Amino acid sequence: MKDLIVKYKSVLKFILTFLAVYAALSFSYKLYLDYSGGSEYYPDYLTNLVARQSELLIESFGHNASIQPHPKEPSMKLLVNGKYVARVVEGCNSVSIIILFISFMIAFADKFKATFLYVLAGSALIYVVNLVRIAILSIGLYHYPWRREELHTVIFPLIIYGMVFLLWMVWVNRFSKAKAEV
Protein backbone atom coordinates (compact mmCIF):
# COMPACT_ATOMS: atom_id res chain seq x y z
CA MET A 1 0.00 0.00 0.00
CA LYS A 2 2.83 2.38 0.87
CA ASP A 3 4.46 1.72 -2.50
CA LEU A 4 1.19 2.56 -4.21
CA ILE A 5 0.94 5.86 -2.33
CA VAL A 6 4.53 6.77 -3.21
CA LYS A 7 3.93 5.79 -6.84
CA TYR A 8 0.83 8.00 -7.13
CA LYS A 9 1.92 10.78 -4.76
CA SER A 10 1.69 13.50 -7.43
CA VAL A 11 -1.75 12.31 -8.56
CA LEU A 12 -3.04 12.24 -4.98
CA LYS A 13 -1.56 15.68 -4.33
CA PHE A 14 -3.29 17.03 -7.45
CA ILE A 15 -6.67 15.53 -6.50
CA LEU A 16 -6.52 16.65 -2.87
CA THR A 17 -5.35 20.15 -3.79
CA PHE A 18 -8.04 20.47 -6.45
CA LEU A 19 -10.77 19.32 -4.04
CA ALA A 20 -9.56 21.58 -1.22
CA VAL A 21 -9.36 24.69 -3.41
CA TYR A 22 -12.67 23.90 -5.11
CA ALA A 23 -14.40 23.40 -1.75
CA ALA A 24 -12.93 26.61 -0.27
CA LEU A 25 -13.82 28.76 -3.28
CA SER A 26 -17.29 27.22 -3.61
CA PHE A 27 -17.97 27.79 0.08
CA SER A 28 -16.80 31.42 -0.23
CA TYR A 29 -19.03 31.93 -3.25
CA LYS A 30 -22.00 30.43 -1.41
CA LEU A 31 -21.38 32.89 1.45
CA TYR A 32 -21.29 35.73 -1.07
CA LEU A 33 -24.63 34.57 -2.52
CA ASP A 34 -26.17 34.13 0.93
CA TYR A 35 -25.18 37.64 2.01
CA SER A 36 -25.89 39.43 -1.27
CA GLY A 37 -29.66 38.95 -1.06
CA GLY A 38 -31.62 42.14 -0.59
CA SER A 39 -28.97 44.38 -2.07
CA GLU A 40 -29.79 47.05 -4.63
CA TYR A 41 -28.39 44.71 -7.31
CA TYR A 42 -30.88 41.99 -8.08
CA PRO A 43 -30.45 39.01 -7.85
CA ASP A 44 -26.80 39.57 -6.82
CA TYR A 45 -24.16 42.04 -7.94
CA LEU A 46 -22.26 39.73 -10.33
CA THR A 47 -25.35 38.32 -12.02
CA ASN A 48 -26.77 41.82 -12.36
CA LEU A 49 -23.47 43.01 -13.85
CA VAL A 50 -23.38 40.13 -16.36
CA ALA A 51 -26.97 40.90 -17.40
CA ARG A 52 -26.14 44.59 -17.91
CA GLN A 53 -22.95 43.85 -19.84
CA SER A 54 -24.77 41.27 -21.98
CA GLU A 55 -27.37 43.90 -22.77
CA LEU A 56 -24.64 46.29 -23.95
CA LEU A 57 -22.93 43.58 -25.99
CA ILE A 58 -26.17 42.60 -27.74
CA GLU A 59 -26.75 46.27 -28.55
CA SER A 60 -23.24 46.48 -30.01
CA PHE A 61 -24.26 43.65 -32.36
CA GLY A 62 -27.03 45.90 -33.73
CA HIS A 63 -30.02 44.66 -31.74
CA ASN A 64 -32.16 46.56 -29.28
CA ALA A 65 -31.71 44.88 -25.89
CA SER A 66 -33.07 45.48 -22.43
CA ILE A 67 -33.09 43.75 -19.07
CA GLN A 68 -35.70 43.67 -16.32
CA PRO A 69 -35.83 42.01 -12.94
CA HIS A 70 -37.84 38.81 -13.17
CA PRO A 71 -40.94 39.19 -10.98
CA LYS A 72 -41.16 35.54 -9.90
CA GLU A 73 -37.57 34.35 -9.48
CA PRO A 74 -34.10 35.75 -8.72
CA SER A 75 -33.01 36.46 -12.28
CA MET A 76 -32.95 39.16 -14.91
CA LYS A 77 -35.17 38.92 -17.98
CA LEU A 78 -33.27 39.61 -21.20
CA LEU A 79 -35.24 41.06 -24.09
CA VAL A 80 -34.01 41.37 -27.66
CA ASN A 81 -35.95 43.81 -29.85
CA GLY A 82 -38.73 43.79 -27.24
CA LYS A 83 -39.04 39.97 -27.21
CA TYR A 84 -38.30 38.07 -23.97
CA VAL A 85 -35.70 35.50 -25.04
CA ALA A 86 -33.73 34.47 -21.96
CA ARG A 87 -33.21 34.94 -18.28
CA VAL A 88 -29.86 35.59 -16.68
CA VAL A 89 -29.65 33.52 -13.50
CA GLU A 90 -26.85 33.13 -10.98
CA GLY A 91 -25.41 30.21 -12.97
CA CYS A 92 -24.93 32.51 -15.99
CA ASN A 93 -22.39 34.77 -14.32
CA SER A 94 -19.43 32.38 -14.97
CA VAL A 95 -18.26 32.36 -11.34
CA SER A 96 -18.76 28.60 -10.91
CA ILE A 97 -16.76 27.90 -14.07
CA ILE A 98 -14.02 30.29 -13.00
CA ILE A 99 -13.87 28.48 -9.64
CA LEU A 100 -13.42 25.18 -11.51
CA PHE A 101 -10.69 26.73 -13.69
CA ILE A 102 -8.82 28.25 -10.73
CA SER A 103 -9.02 25.00 -8.75
CA PHE A 104 -7.40 23.07 -11.60
CA MET A 105 -4.75 25.75 -12.09
CA ILE A 106 -3.75 25.80 -8.44
CA ALA A 107 -3.72 22.00 -8.27
CA PHE A 108 -1.49 21.94 -11.36
CA ALA A 109 0.51 25.02 -10.36
CA ASP A 110 4.03 25.66 -11.52
CA LYS A 111 5.75 28.86 -10.45
CA PHE A 112 3.65 31.28 -8.41
CA LYS A 113 3.99 34.32 -10.69
CA ALA A 114 3.24 32.39 -13.89
CA THR A 115 0.29 30.60 -12.28
CA PHE A 116 -1.10 33.81 -10.78
CA LEU A 117 -0.88 35.70 -14.08
CA TYR A 118 -2.40 32.81 -16.02
CA VAL A 119 -5.24 32.51 -13.51
CA LEU A 120 -5.98 36.24 -13.84
CA ALA A 121 -5.81 36.25 -17.63
CA GLY A 122 -7.73 32.99 -17.95
CA SER A 123 -10.47 34.13 -15.55
CA ALA A 124 -10.87 37.41 -17.45
CA LEU A 125 -11.03 35.52 -20.75
CA ILE A 126 -13.62 33.09 -19.40
CA TYR A 127 -15.71 36.03 -18.16
CA VAL A 128 -15.58 37.77 -21.54
CA VAL A 129 -16.33 34.57 -23.48
CA ASN A 130 -19.26 34.02 -21.13
CA LEU A 131 -20.67 37.43 -22.05
CA VAL A 132 -20.24 36.63 -25.74
CA ARG A 133 -21.99 33.28 -25.33
CA ILE A 134 -24.96 34.94 -23.57
CA ALA A 135 -25.19 37.45 -26.41
CA ILE A 136 -24.94 34.71 -29.06
CA LEU A 137 -27.54 32.60 -27.27
CA SER A 138 -29.92 35.53 -26.86
CA ILE A 139 -29.64 36.64 -30.47
CA GLY A 140 -29.92 33.01 -31.57
CA LEU A 141 -33.05 32.55 -29.48
CA TYR A 142 -34.51 35.71 -30.98
CA HIS A 143 -33.94 34.54 -34.56
CA TYR A 144 -34.34 30.77 -34.05
CA PRO A 145 -36.64 30.15 -31.08
CA TRP A 146 -37.38 26.61 -32.30
CA ARG A 147 -33.66 25.78 -31.75
CA ARG A 148 -33.86 26.66 -28.04
CA GLU A 149 -32.90 23.17 -26.86
CA GLU A 150 -29.84 22.85 -29.14
CA LEU A 151 -28.66 26.36 -28.41
CA HIS A 152 -28.95 26.06 -24.64
CA THR A 153 -27.89 22.44 -24.09
CA VAL A 154 -25.21 22.04 -26.80
CA ILE A 155 -23.86 25.34 -28.14
CA PHE A 156 -24.06 27.30 -24.89
CA PRO A 157 -22.02 24.82 -22.76
CA LEU A 158 -19.68 23.98 -25.66
CA ILE A 159 -18.51 27.58 -25.89
CA ILE A 160 -17.67 28.06 -22.21
CA TYR A 161 -16.44 24.58 -21.34
CA GLY A 162 -14.51 24.46 -24.59
CA MET A 163 -12.72 27.66 -23.58
CA VAL A 164 -11.87 26.27 -20.15
CA PHE A 165 -10.59 23.04 -21.70
CA LEU A 166 -8.41 24.97 -24.17
CA LEU A 167 -6.98 27.09 -21.35
CA TRP A 168 -6.19 23.95 -19.34
CA MET A 169 -4.53 22.28 -22.34
CA VAL A 170 -2.39 25.33 -23.03
CA TRP A 171 -1.32 25.36 -19.38
CA VAL A 172 -0.63 21.63 -19.16
CA ASN A 173 1.41 21.67 -22.37
CA ARG A 174 3.36 24.68 -21.20
CA PHE A 175 3.82 23.10 -17.78
CA SER A 176 4.84 19.74 -19.24
CA LYS A 177 7.45 21.38 -21.49
CA ALA A 178 8.90 23.23 -18.50
CA LYS A 179 9.19 19.97 -16.53
CA ALA A 180 10.66 18.10 -19.52
CA GLU A 181 13.46 20.65 -19.85
CA VAL A 182 14.58 20.24 -16.23
> Residue 178 pLDDT more than 70?
no
Q: How confident is the model at residue 5 (pLDDT cuts 50, 70, 90)?
A: confident
Q: What is the mean pLDDT of the chain?
A: 89
In whole angstroms, what is the distance from residue 17 CA to residue 2 CA? Answer: 20
Q: How far is 179 from 173, CA to CA, in rounded Å?
A: 10
Please name which of 113, 130, 115, 131 lies closest in space to residue 164, comparing C-alpha atoms.
Answer: 130
* End-to-end alpha carbon distance in the chain: 30
pLDDT digits (tens, 9 = 90+) for 102-112: 999 999 887 88
What band does 176 get if pLDDT is binned at 50, 70 and 90?
Answer: low
Q: What is the pTM of this model?
A: 0.88
**pLDDT over 90 (residue 61):** yes
**How large is the greatest C-alpha to C-alpha distance in the chain, in angstroms?**
65
> 3-class DSSP state for residue 44?
coil
β-sheet bridge partners, residue 77? 68, 87
